[in-house]
Structure 1
Amino acid sequence: MNHYLKRFAKNMDYPLLITYILLCLFGLVMIYSASMVWAVERYGFEPDHFYRKQILNLTLAVPAFLIGAIIPYKHYKRKGMMISMLVVMFALLFAVHIIGYDAGGAKSWIHLGFANLQPSEVAKIIIVLYFAAVFANKYDKGMIDNINYSIGPPLAVLVLALFSIMLETDIGTSIIIFFTAISVMAASGIKFRTFAKMSGVLFAIMAAISPFLYLFHDKILTERRLGRLEAFLNPFEHAQDLGFQVVNGYIAIGSGGLTGLGLGQSIQKLGYLPEPQTDFIMAIIAEELGLLGVAIVIGGLGFIVLRAMYIALASKDPQGRMIAAGFGSMIGFQTFVNLGGLTGLIPLTGVPLPFISYGGTSVILLSFAVGILMNVSMFVRYENSK
């Protein structure tokens, strides 16, 4: 046991670990600062309500990280494990349409009594692990470039998952999963021509099912979602209604300058910016800590993404390479979607900022993903030491 712990500690990717811990702690501080007024005025809670709940979330996130880091990632390639992951994913995605409840304009949550679960967040992790396992098996059999052999089951799983999540009206997560899956395929070792054909088939399938999505257009293009689109196109013309959150986010960012107003000194969190501890937390960071605070967060998240890509390039095992590229891309795309909505590059989607925004499902599953990434990194280090 001691020998295993020593080997575990020796091969630990400490830059990745330290960055992950610092981002979580920084997020904890900013959640307290951003939510203290909103918790009292909007909900009648204690000022530290969301802070204490996020501490509880992190106490669950740490074991999730350790589980991901300890279990050898090659286990996810076993047939029984692959089937189990798909059963869990589709069971949750199906259940949310029956027993799920609406939050923020999307029916994406299942209330478990002691906690709330967002199945689409589970799907993000499972799609990466499943795609990496499927394409690794095809790579081992020498069938990776046979498009007829490779294209069927994984793309069917992806399309069904995306269809279900879009019916929840969780468009942001659908976009992240779609491009993350393409990133895993790109890292699988297939030739560019084959990758282009597979991507083309995937886009064709999505185009083919668009008429079926139209049947649910009143559910997908809800009044709230159309309002977000209008706010994206003309935020200042709707500053008192549809564009209220966007415009006040701009004001918060513009007020911060280089060094910010000071930690805890935000004006916009005093009721002007709804739910500032969630997907708009970067606006509060910009207002209180300025461009320097924003640079710290983007730098930390960017480091994790680049570290994941470095691990992918260093891995000689195709499954490890695809897992690292997949999780790195997932965190990168999620960061872009969050910041893109905040800055007006894309419409708002309600996607949290990784490791920083308040939320249990997000931080727990992202911690599990970073744990698996750590496991891949440790395996690469162990191989290199031999």
Structure 2
Amino acid sequence: MYGPGERMKDVVKGALLALAVLLQGCEPTGKTAETQTPAVPKVDIATVTPSTEPLTTRLTGRMEAYRTAEVRARVEGIVEARTYREGQEVKAGTLLFRIDPAPLKAELAAAEAELAQARAAADAAEDIAKRSKQLMADESISAQQYRKDFFTEKQARATEKAAEAKVQSARLKLAYANVTSPIAGRARRAEVTEGALVGQDEGTKLTTVEQIDPIYVNFAQPMADSLALRQSLQNGKNDSKLILRLRLSNGSTYPLNGTLLFSDWAVDEKTDTVAMRAIFDNPDHLLLPGMYVQVELQQPSEKQAVLIPQQALTRTREGAYAMVVDETNHVHSRPISADTLEGNQWRVTDGLNAGERVILSGSALKDGQAVEPKQATLTTQPVASKE
């Protein structure tokens, strides 16, 4: 027979044994956890395609007249008439304003009278000088008197020359009463009206004439792009491929291409850009000075750009990158250069080649991770027409 103490020990041992069996059944085996293989993630991919469009940079530009002439009053007087229509195309020498010529005619008449008087005095002095020369030969007068008469003639001739200059000046002022255009172009609005007093203290601005065929466009290009363009043009291989177009404010494209004239030799320290200028033919005068336009500069490039879907690109503070799937279906992060869009695709100029596979929305994947790629079906938006 067992005593009460021994029975209690047996109950405790049984309970401990049952608990140990229960815990052993709940504990997973180490080998099972170690041999379990994680699932390979499935990813949608797209194939990198070459771009069919040339590299185009769009920059904001402003039109400027080819030549600009400020027409000013060159004589003082009252504006008698405006002889042109504002906005009219004029030729060089076309009469634009007429200043009252009456005071100028009177000034010319006074100058001509002064000239006649000076000429008569000079002729009289010349006769006296000739007679004094003969008398001095006969020793009828002194050499001192002859020299006096000789210099009197010289002074009279000088006075005559001064009077002639006054006449020329008066005639010139009278001619300035007819204000003409110095260049051919479009005459802008009049700055004065009939009856206005002009030229009293300085040359009053009457109007402006602008030649707008051809016409300039001024714009600025980032220094890095300007440097690449210079290097490309210096090679002498891509001159014929450089194309300049204008996109107007209504979205249409100007039908004529332009020619790049120059890029400035200085860099703007505030914007890190280089000032540039191009020239366009403007026979229909569709382009006007002061107009803002988009300059489309098709830059020559030795390397063809490629396209990737928008969702395949990720941007961080360090730059842009895409996740590329290699031949063994492993993921690799690839830094790329992509600054412009073609339709709904990024134009990649560096970092990718045509035919490579990129992951759509693969920013959560790790570099070197194995994946199961699946070709995605995407809809590509066409590039906006330039016509």
* TM-score (normalised: structure 2): 0.18
Q: Which has the higher strand share?
A: 2
Q: Which has the higher helix share?
A: 1
Largest Rg, 1 or 2: 2
* TM-score (normalised: structure 1): 0.18
RCO (CA 8 Å, sep 6+): is it higher in 1 or 2?
A: 1
